[in-house]
Chain A
Amino acid sequence: EAQVTQNPRYLITVTGKKLTVTCSQNMNHEYMSWYRQDPGLGLRQIYYSMNVEVTDKGDVPEGYKVSRKEKRNFPLILESPSPNQTSLYFCASSSPGQKGDTQYFGPGTRLTVL
C-alpha cells in the first residue's frame, strides 16, 4: 500500500531535549516536505527536499533541521525544542507530473513541548 508514515504519532517532551520525528514514504517520490499546522494559521511549510541531499527552507524553518540521505526518508530534527514548537506536524511526499506536486500526507505527529 502506498503510504507516508511518521513516528511517533504523539510526543510530549520538555524544553531543550533534542528530538527527531521520522518520515518515510514507499512511493519513490522525489519531493518531500514537512509542515506544521496551528489553529488559525493553517499548514505552513517548514522545509522541503527535491531529492537526496537537496533541501530548502520553507516559510517557518527556524528551530528545525532536516536531512535527506536516502530517497525514502526525511527526518525532522528539533535540536532544542521550545513551547512555541508545540504543534501538529505533517510529512508529505510528491512527484512532479500530471497532477503537479500532489502531496501525499502522513497521519501527523502531535508534539507538545512543556
Chain B
Amino acid sequence: SQKIEQNSEALNIQEGKTATLTCNYTNYSPAYLQWYRQDPGRGPVFLLLIRENEKEKRKERLKVTFDTTLKQSLFHITASQPADSATYLCALAPYNQGGKLIFGQGTELSVKP
C-alpha cells in the first residue's frame, strides 16, 4: 500500500544543535516533496520544495535532501532556536496527478533553551 511516514515520536533537542527530521515513502512516484511548518491551531506554512531530480536544497538555516533510491527525504534545521519549535509536515506530489498532495502525519519538534 502507499504510505508516507514521518518520525512519530516528538523530537526534543537543545538550542544550537541541528534537528533532523525524516520522511519515508513507499509505493509512490513523487514529482516533488515539500516541507511545511505548522504551529498549534494554525494552518501549515510552506518552507521548501525539492524535486525528484534534485539531491539537496537550502534556505537560510534549512536544508532538505531527497534520496529516491532510499525513498527518503531529510529535513535539517541548523543552529536551532526555541522559535523553531513546531510540527513539521512533509508532503508528496505524485507524478501526473496535478492538484493531489499527500501529507505525512508530522513530527513535533521542541527546541529547549
Minimum CB–CB distance for A71 against chain B, Å: 14
- State the majority secondary structure of interface residues on B: strand
B32, B44, B100: the one within 8 Å of A43 (CB) = B44
Known: A105-B44, A106-B43, A108-B41. A100 touches B99 (CB 8 A): no
Interface residue range, chain A: 20 to 34
**Are A100 and B89 in contact, CB atoms less than 8 angstroms apart?**
no
**Are B100 and A100 in contact, CB atoms less than 8 angstroms apart?**
no
Known: A33-B99, A45-B100, A59-B102. A100 touches B43 (CB 8 A): no
User: Which of B9-17, B62-70, B103-111 lies at the binding interface?
Assistant: B103-111
Looking across the interface, which residue of chain A has its beta carbon closest to that of B97?
A56
Residues of A near B43 (CB, < 8 A) are: 4, 90, 92, 105-108
Minimum CB–CB distance for A101 against chain B, Å: 6
B41, B45, B89, B98: the one within 8 Å of A101 (CB) = B98
B98, B101, B102, B104: the one within 8 Å of A50 (CB) = B98
Minimum CB–CB distance for A29 against chain B, Å: 11
Known: A33-B101, A43-B89, A45-B101. A100 touches B44 (CB 8 A): no
Given A31-B99, A40-B105, 20 extra CB contacts under 8 A: A35-B103, A42-B89, A42-B106, A43-B44, A43-B91, A43-B103, A45-B100, A45-B101, A45-B103, A56-B100, A58-B100, A90-B44, A99-B46, A99-B49, A100-B31, A101-B93, A103-B46, A105-B45, A107-B43, A108-B41
Residues of B bordering A, CB below 8 Å: 31-32, 34, 36, 41-46, 49, 51, 89, 91, 93, 98-106
